[in-house]
Copies of this chain bind each other. A is one copy, B any other.
Amino acid sequence: MLDLNHIRAQFPILKTKMSGKPLIYFDNAATTLKPQSVINDVTRILSSQSVNIHRGDYQLSYDISNEYEEARVSVAKFINADVNEIVFTSGATEGLNAIAYGLEHHLNEGDVILTTHTDHASNLLPWIEVAKRRKAKIEYFKLTEEGRIDLSKLDQALHSKVKFITLVHVSNVLGFINPVEDIIKMAHQRNMVVILDGAQSVAHIKMDVKALDVDFLAWSGHKMCSPTGVGVLYGKKEWLEQLKSIKLGGGSNAQFNEQGEVILKSVPTRFEAGTPAIESTIALKSALQFLDSVGMHHIHEHEVILKNHFLSKIQDFKHITVYNPSTDTGIVIFNVEGIFAQDAAAYLSSHGIAVRAGNHCAKLIHHVIGVTETLRASFYVYNTIDEVDHLVEVLRDITLEKCVDLYI
C-alpha cells in the first residue's frame, strides 16, 4: 500500500478548497497536480537562473543548459531509451503533429494509416490532414463490442497497404490499455511503423520502449506531475533520422546560406528550434523522481484499487450508467440518467469534486459507446478511498432538481 499521507503532503493544492469544500480532484486525465519539488524547480529557476540555454558563454547559462540536458537523461532512463532519442516538445499535441507531418513524405497514394475510433483528436487530425494531402487512407481497427481492439481481426487489419499504425496506448475515455505488444510485433513482421500516443500511459504504467520495440511515442509533461508547456517525443534513432523537422529556426541548424542550403544539426537537437519551455522541462526531472519514488507499478495498482472501489460502490445505483465497466486503469466514464453531463459536473463541483464532462476530445468515440457526452472521473496516485466514497455519496443523492437549484 502507498503511504498516501506522505504522497498527499507533497501536493500543496490538496490543501485548498473548491466551492468552499476540500478539493477532490478527479480530473487527472486532463492534467495532473504538481508536487512541491516541481514547483520549487520552477520558482528557483525563475528567481535565480532565468537565462537562456544552449550556450556556455557564461556560468549561469552553462549551468541551466546542463540541467536541461539532465532532464533529457532522466526521461531517457524513465522509458529506457537512449538519450539522443528524446526530443522535447511543447506537449503531446505538438509531438503527435511532428510525427504525422514529419513522416508525410513517406506516404504514397493508396497507403493506409491504421488507427482507432477511440483515439484523441491530437492524434487523429494530423493524420487525417496528411492522408488528404498524400491521397492516403485512414482505416480503423475493428473493435469488440466494449470498445477493445479485436485481436482476432488483427491479421486482416494489418493488410499489405498499411504503412503506419498510430494509436492511443491508453484511451483517455475508455481507460483500456491497448494490446500494443501484439500489434507492434505483428506490425514489425510486416515492416509497418508503430506510433503510440502515450498521453495517458507514460504517467500510469511502466514504459520500456526497448522492450516494447515501439517506433515513436509522444506524451505531455503536464499529465505526469510536471508544469504545462513541455512534452516528449521519443523516436527510435533510425526513425528520428527519417523524420522531417517541421519547426525550423534558431538552434536547429548547423549552417545555412543565402542559396537556401541548410544543414540541420543532428538528432535530437534538429527538432528543438527556438527557445524551449526551460523551467518546465527541467522540472520534468523532479516529476520523474517523484513517480520513481512511488514506483510506477504501485501507481497503476493504486488507480485500479480506487477504480474497483468506485465501480463496486455504484454498481447498484440504477440512475448511473457506466460505459467502460472493464476499464484497465483509473479512468471511468458514466452518466446520470436524465442529467446532462455538464450539469452533473457542475453539481459535483459545488461539492468540491472536479470531474470532466464532454467528449474528451475523442470525437469518434460515439461509434463505440453510443453517446457523445459523458462524465469522466480519472484517479491518480494522490487520490484516496475516502475521496471516492465522497463522490459515491454525492452521486447517490444527485437529482435534476438539485442540479437546477444551483441556478435559482
Contacts and interface: CB of A to CB of B under 8 A. Distances in A.
Interface of A: 12-13, 16, 18-19, 23, 25, 27, 30-31, 33-34, 38-39, 42-43, 46-52, 55, 57-61, 90-94, 96-97, 101, 117, 120-126, 128-129, 131-132, 138, 140, 220, 222, 227-230, 246-253, 255-258, 260, 262, 273-280, 342, 345-346, 348-349, 353-358, 361, 363-364, 367
A354 B280 CA distance: 23
A97 B30 contact: no
A126 B262 CA distance: 11
B93 A55 contact: no
9 contacts: A12-B47, A19-B59, A39-B47, A57-B358, A58-B354, A93-B249, A122-B248, A125-B262, A227-B277
Given A60-B23, A249-B96, A274-B94, A256 B125 contact: yes
| Residue of A27, A93, A280 with most chain B CB atoms under a 10 A cut-off | A93
Given A140-B258, A249-B121, A275-B93, A227 B60 contact: no
A142 B277 CA distance: 36
A97 B245 CA distance: 11
Contact of A57 (B50, B96, B349): B349
Given A43-B43, A46-B42, A248-B122, A356 B253 contact: no
Contacts of A34: 46-47, 50
Given A49-B13, A122-B273, A279 B97 contact: no
Contacts of A246: 97, 101, 246
Nearest to A14: B48
Given A228-B277, A349-B59, A363 B18 contact: no
A231 to B, nearest CB: 9
Given A90-B229, A140-B258, A361-B250, A48 B12 contact: yes
Given A57-B349, A58-B355, A50 B33 contact: yes
A130 to B, nearest CB: 10
B51 A46 contact: no
Given A13-B48, A58-B353, 9 more contacts: A27-B61, A42-B42, A42-B43, A55-B358, A57-B342, A92-B274, A121-B252, A227-B277, A227-B279
Given A58-B346, A60-B18, A280-B229, A97 B275 contact: no
Nearest to A276: B228
B42 A30 contact: no
A12 B345 CA distance: 41
A123 to B, nearest CB: 8
Given A18-B60, A52-B31, A60-B354, A249 B125 contact: yes
A379 B146 CA distance: 62
A147 to B, nearest CB: 15
Contacts of A274: 90-94, 122, 220
Given A46-B227, A248-B121, A258 B367 contact: yes
Contacts of A275: 31, 91-93, 220, 222, 228
Contact of A228 (B12, B61, B279): B279
Contacts of A251: 121, 361
